[in-house]
């Protein structure tokens, strides 16, 4: 029986749908990749399932298509992954590269979390509820990442940029994620210092 195909191909997850983003750069040479940062996003806010998030991360968003887009006109950002409401996983940047998701941030005394983290966006509203399929997909993705790049922690954007960011917010169930991932509490917010 042939060996199963590796999950990772140069930092790309073979089970994720690829939409390569131009918004990335090299990570610091020799540095660890040991943090996962969970975000939430919807475009326009509160609207799910459309192409706008993919368009934003690939610099193809029509800024005139919705009044809200004027507020973010010219934004060049990315995440490594997006998990849709139905659990579909989309990848924009190789985990080997530095995506532009965290901004000004700090974790355990280290600034510039983009340098050493994997950014995972959940389609949803900051402070809102997320779907069971998203938690299942996120837990599976975290386990796959951890197999290749051992993660010391999983945090929300709110934990590495307090006062500036508040996602995924109060509606996110960290205990459920911990249970599904099957990991010790010490890897999750509330059980370690993020600053």
In whole angstroms, give the CA distance from residue 195 to residue 192.
9
- 125-164 per-position pLDDT tens digit: 999 999 999 999 999 999 999 999 999 999 999 999 999 9
Predicted confidence (pLDDT) at residue 190 exceeds the cutoff of 80: no
Predicted pLDDT at 2? 72
Q: Taking residues 113-133, what's their average pLDDT?
A: 97
In a domain, 195, yes or no: no
Q: Taking residues 77-100, what's their average pLDDT?
A: 98
Confidence of residue 15 (pLDDT cuts 50, 70, 90): very high
pTM of the entire structure?
Answer: 0.95
Q: What tokens were used for 194?
A: 């993020």
Residue 121 annotated to the active site: yes
In a domain, 193, yes or no: no
Measured at the CA of 152, the angle between CA 97 and CA 148, to 5 degrees, comes to 50
In a domain, 76, yes or no: yes
Measured at the CA of 25, the angle between CA 89 and CA 29, to 5 degrees, comes to 110
In a domain, 159, yes or no: yes
In a domain, 113, yes or no: yes
In whole angstroms, give the CA distance from residue 165 to residue 170.
12
Given the residues 52, 121, 126, 158, the one annotated as active site: 121
Predicted pLDDT at 193? 47
**Whole domain around residue 106: which residue ranges?**
8-187
Q: Indicate which CATH number applies to the domain containing 124.
A: 3.40.80.10
Total number of domains constituting the chain: 1
Predicted confidence (pLDDT) at residue 124 exceeds the cutoff of 50: yes
Cβ-contact 1, 74 below 8 angstroms: no
In a domain, 169, yes or no: yes
In a domain, 116, yes or no: yes
Q: What percent of the chain has pLDDT over 70?
A: 97
In a domain, 192, yes or no: no
């Amino acid at each position: 029986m042939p060996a199963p195909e590796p999950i990772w191909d140069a930092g790309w997850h073979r089970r994720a749908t690829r939409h390569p983003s131009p918004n990335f750069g090299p990570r610091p040479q020799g540095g660890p990749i040991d943090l996962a940062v969970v975000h939430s996003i919807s475009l326009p806010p509160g609207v799910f399932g459309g192409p706008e998030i993919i368009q934003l991360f690939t610099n193809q968003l029509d800024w005139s298509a919705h009044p809200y887009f004027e507020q973010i006109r010219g934004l060049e950002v990315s995440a490594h992954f997006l998990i849709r409401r139905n659990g579909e996983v989309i990848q924009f940047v190789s985990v080997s590269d530095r995506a532009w998701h965290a901004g000004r941030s700090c974790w355990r005394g280290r600034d510039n979390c983009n340098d050493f983290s994997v950014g995972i966006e959940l389609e949803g509203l900051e402070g809102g509820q997320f779907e069971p399929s998203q938690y299942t997909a996120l837990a599976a993705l975290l386990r796959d990442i951890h197999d290749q790049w051992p993660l010391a922690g999983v945090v929300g954007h709110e934990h590495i940029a307090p006062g500036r960011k508040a996602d995924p917010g109060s509606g996110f169930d960290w205990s459920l994620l911990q249970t599904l991932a099957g990991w010790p509490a010490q890897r999750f917010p509330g059980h370690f210092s993020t600053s």
